[in-house]
């Protein structure tokens, strides 16, 4: 294993205690070998400080409004609808620098800022479009950071599910369960793997699949694709 892959493996061993920002940055060091991870962690901390400063009341509803204001208005984060499949949308450093990303990277940042503020936020690995789940007392609120923090009710979620899965799909309890952190990282890497697969980029495809194998070592599809790409890479050299 390369040193950056070993570090990634070490980081994700902590399970739900893994620092998502650090892990997402270390995961892409194959693309940015001199990446200053601490710089971007500090940036996320500063973003959370801004959101806290904007909170007008010391209650969760005030904090979540302040988070929206900081994230979308003051910092200008938005979904990249013009070039959705640009790989930079999956590189957390680029998302922070460019203020644009895809649902999983924007959700990851939104969650990390909110958790630094004490908000009960989690990822929602919804079919076709990653979302954020916010628990407000006894109620669940569903947030779409890709669309400027749009709130979704259960009817809207079921309508989305039917567009992706089929007209007979029904919303079930498992659709509303929080996504484990390892799953969030895996979904981020799965997006990258698909981009490199379409581009025929064997080297980067191997790097991403190696990290996916760390997160999901018993997945035969990942193992098979990784084996095939390594065979192709050997033939190129």
Contact at 8 Å (CB) between 135 and 61?
A: no
Task: State pTM to two decimals.
Answer: 0.94
Q: Is residue 79 a contact partner of residue 66, using CB atoms and an 8 Å limit?
A: no
Number of compact structural domains in the chain: 1
Q: Rounded to an integer, what distance in angstroms lies between the CA atom of residue 218 and that of residue 16?
A: 19
Q: Dihedrals φ, ψ of 138, to 5°?
A: -90, 0
What is the span of the domain harbouring residue 198? 3-236
Digit-by-digit pLDDT tens for the chain (237 residues) are 788 999 999 999 977 788 999 999 999 999 999 999 999 999 999 999 999 999 876 666 789 999 999 999 999 999 999 999 999 999 999 999 999 999 999 999 999 999 999 999 999 999 989 999 998 888 899 999 999 999 999 999 999 999 999 988 889 899 999 999 999 999 999 999 999 999 999 999 999 999 999 999 999 999 999 999 999 988 876
């Amino acid at each position: 294993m390369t040193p950056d892959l070993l570090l990634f493996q070490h980081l994700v061993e902590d399970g739900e205690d893994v620092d998502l920002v650090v892990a997402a940055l270390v995961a892409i060091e194959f693309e940015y070998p001199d990446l200053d991870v601490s710089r971007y962690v500090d940036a996320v901390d500063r973003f959370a400080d801004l959101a806290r400063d904007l909170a007008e009341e010391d209650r969760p509803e005030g904090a979540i409004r302040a988070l929206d204001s900081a994230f979308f208005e003051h910092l200008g984060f938005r979904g990249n609808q013009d070039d959705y499949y640009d790989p930079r949308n999956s590189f957390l450093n680029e998302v922070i620098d460019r203020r644009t990303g895809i649902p999983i990277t924007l959700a990851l940042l939104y969650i990390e800022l909110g958790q630094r503020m004490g908000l009960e936020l989690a990822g929602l690995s919804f079919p076709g479009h990653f979302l954020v789940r916010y628990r407000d007392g006894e109620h669940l609120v569903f947030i779409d950071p890709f669309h400027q923090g749009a709130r979704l009710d259960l009817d809207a979620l079921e309508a989305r599910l039917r567009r992706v899965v089929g007209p007979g799909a029904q919303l079930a309890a498992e659709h509303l369960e929080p996504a484990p952190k390892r799953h969030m990282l895996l979904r981020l890497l799965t997006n990258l793997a698909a981009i490199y697969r379409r581009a025929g980029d064997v080297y980067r495809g191997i790097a991403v699949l190696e990290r996916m194998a760390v997160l999901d070592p018993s997945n035969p599809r990942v193992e098979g694709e990784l084996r095939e790409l390594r065979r192709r890479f050997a033939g190129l050299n």
